[in-house]
């Protein structure tokens, strides 16, 4: 069972799992502004896939689904995922990330109680983020699985809360659960509010590229295919109750990343004028975490995982994907704008 399967990582994970293994997949998604089935038509038409349009916080829908399908593995991706939106309005983050995770865990507990034979193979994998640890200074060592949760944004606080719930259901109720804490992920199908696709769209429209603060904040970047492989390895070989940081050796300041992106985009678009001229510093994100860095030796040691994708090539392929798939991102962006203009719905 994959929750959030219509999102960026979820959509890539569905394709990865259908290629990799022969399991059946139950996909749950609320189809928020960030979720789209566009481009997933072949996945949805696959007889191994069942799609359920539902909110993970819907107790009855989760119970029906878990009792009907009795999944062996739940990979829980469904969440509100954009830090800036969590600063504007935290309510959907509290609802989906905290209440949604609690409801899903509790319904897993009930399903396992009714069908104890499932327990031997069952695994709940919470897809979390490096952001739960807070912010590092330049000289600090990277976080590892023992580092404390010290979140500083409404988004990261909601993800940390979900992680604590997962561990509580593991220790108190015996749910076999694990947490994957991921660095910044990039690749095709990412909603264009996140830095990489946003920059490319700004370049395409010859609009200013907004760089928060001085652009010296540092992130680690991992290709989504490498993450999908990591999640699969954790599902197959991970230890119950374990936390697995999944990161990459590619640490870049936002300015370094955006400059690299401009160079690739200019080559792909055959532009003579450098798009770097579009880079514009703007007001910083409130509470902007300075640096994230994690040590992923645990997943390497225990699951044999390694990041395989070269960053320069992965970035270039990602930009090419967006250039070739305007039919994916244009309607997704238009729909999100339409929803923003509509009166707010209660959460």
Active-site residue set: 130-131, 155
| Residue number with CB closer to ligand TDX (111 or 161) | 161
| The pair of three-digit structure tokens given for residue 259, joined into one six-digit string | 């400059």
Q: Does 30 bind ligand NAD (CB under 6 A)?
A: yes
* CA proximity to 105, closest of 182, 181, 24, 164: 164
Q: Does 57 bind ligand TDX (CB under 6 A)?
A: no
What are the distances in angstroms from CA 308 to CA 10, 83, 223, 277? 20, 28, 9, 33
The DSSP line for 103-136 is HHHHHHHHHHHH-GGGGGT-EEEEEEEGGGG--B
Q: Does 7 bind ligand NAD (CB under 6 A)?
A: yes
Find out whether 184 and 197 touch, Cβ atoms under 8 Å.
no
Provide the minimum distance between the beta carbon of 117 and ligand TDX in the complex, in angstroms, as a whole number.
35
257: Cα within 13 Å, side-chain hemisphere: 30
| Residue number with CB closer to ligand TDX (44 or 213) | 213
| The pair of three-digit structure tokens given for residue 87, joined into one six-digit string | 């600063």
Of 145-153, 183-191, 208-216, 317-325, the segment contacting ligand NAD by CB under 6 A is 183-191
| Residue number with CB closer to ligand TDX (96 or 129) | 129
CB within 8 Å of 50: residues ≥ 6 apart: 24, 25, 26, 27, 69
Measure the CA–CA gap between 318 and 225, rounded to whole angstroms: 11
Q: Does 194 bind ligand TDX (CB under 6 A)?
A: yes
Nearest 10 degrees: CA dihedral of 246, 56, 32, 329? 40
When CB distances are held under 5 to 8 angstroms depending on the partner's kind, the choice from ligand NAD, ligand TDX, none that residue 78 binds is ligand NAD
The DSSP line for 26-45 is EEEE---TT---TT-HHHHH
Q: Does 158 bind ligand TDX (CB under 6 A)?
A: no
Output the residue with the shortest Cβ distance to ligand NAD. 7
Could you say which of 217, 220, 275, 318 contacts ligand TDX (CB under 6 A)?
A: 217
Q: Does 170 bind ligand NAD (CB under 6 A)?
A: no
Measure the CA–CA gap between 89 and 84, rounded to whole angstroms: 9
Judged by CB under 6 A, the chain residues 95 through 154 that form the site for ligand NAD are 96, 100, 127, 129
Number of H helices, E strands in the chain: 13, 12
Provide the minimum distance between the beta carbon of 152 and ligand TDX in the complex, in angstroms, as a whole number.
11
Q: Does 332 bind ligand NAD (CB under 6 A)?
A: no
Q: Does 296 bind ligand NAD (CB under 6 A)?
A: no
Q: How many CB atoms lie within 10 A of CB 273?
A: 9
Q: Is 234 helix (H, G, I), strand (E, B) or coil?
A: helix
Provide the minimum distance between the beta carbon of 225 and ligand TDX in the complex, in angstroms, as a whole number.
17
Judged by CB under 6 A, the chain residues 32 through 61 that form the site for ligand NAD are 32, 34-35, 55-57
When CB distances are held under 5 to 8 angstroms depending on the partner's kind, the choice from ligand NAD, ligand TDX, none that residue 98 binds is none
DSSP H/E element including 341: helix 326-341
Of 57-65, 95-103, 204-212, 269-277, the segment contacting ligand TDX by CB under 6 A is 204-212
Could you say which of 61, 94, 118, 198 contacts ligand TDX (CB under 6 A)?
A: 198
CA 135 from chain centre, in angstroms, equals: 19
CA 256 from chain centre, in angstroms, equals: 22
Q: Does 259 bind ligand TDX (CB under 6 A)?
A: no
Judged by CB under 6 A, the chain residues 104 through 143 that form the site for ligand TDX are 129, 131
Site string for ligand TDX, 278-297 (x = CB under 6 A): -------x------------
When CB distances are held under 5 to 8 angstroms depending on the partner's kind, the choice from ligand TDX, ligand NAD, none that residue 96 binds is ligand NAD
- What letter would DSSP give residue 277? G
| Residue number with CB closer to ligand NAD (70 or 95) | 95
């Amino acid at each position: 069972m994959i929750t959030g399967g219509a999102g960026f990582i979820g959509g890539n994970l569905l394709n990865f799992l259908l290629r990799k293994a022969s399991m059946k997949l139950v996909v749950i998604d609320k189809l928020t502004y960030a979720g789209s089935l566009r481009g997933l038509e072949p996945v949805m038409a696959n007889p191994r896939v069942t799609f359920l349009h539902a909110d993970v916080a819907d107790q009855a829908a989760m119970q029906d689904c878990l009792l009907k399908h009795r999944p062996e593995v739940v990979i829980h991706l469904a969440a509100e995922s954009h830090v800036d939106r969590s600063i504007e309005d935290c309510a959907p983050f509290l609802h989906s990330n905290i209440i949604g995770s609690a409801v899903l865990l509790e319904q897993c507990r009930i399903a396992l109680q009714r069908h104890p034979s499932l327990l031997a193979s069952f695994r709940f994998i919470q897809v979390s983020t490096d952001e739960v640890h807070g912010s590092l200074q330049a000289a600090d060592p990277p976080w590892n699985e023992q580092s404390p949760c010290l979140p500083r944004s409404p988004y990261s606080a909601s993800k940390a809360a979900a992680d604590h719930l997962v561990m509580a259901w593991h220790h108190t109720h015996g749910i076999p659960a694990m947490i994957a804490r991921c660095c910044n992920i990039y690749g095709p199908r990412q909603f264009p509010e996140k830095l990489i696709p946003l920059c490319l769209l700004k370049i395409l429209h010859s609009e200013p590229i907004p760089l928060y603060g001085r652009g010296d904040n540092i992130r680690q970047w991992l290709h989504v295919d490498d993450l999908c492989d990591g999640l699969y390895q954790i599902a197959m070989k991970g230890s119950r109750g374990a936390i697995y940081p999944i990161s990459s050796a590619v640490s870049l300041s936002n300015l370094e990343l955006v400059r690299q992106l401009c160079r690739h985009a200019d080559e792909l678009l055959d532009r003579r004028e450098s798009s770097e001229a579009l880079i514009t510093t703007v007001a910083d994100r409130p509470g902007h975490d300075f640096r994230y860095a994690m040590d992923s030796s645990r997943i390497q040691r225990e699951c044999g995982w390694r990041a395989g994708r070269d960053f320069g090539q992965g970035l270039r392929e990602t930009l090419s994907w967006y250039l070739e798939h305007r039919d994916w991102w244009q309607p997704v962006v238009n729909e999100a704008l339409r929803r923003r203009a509509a009166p707010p719905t209660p959460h």
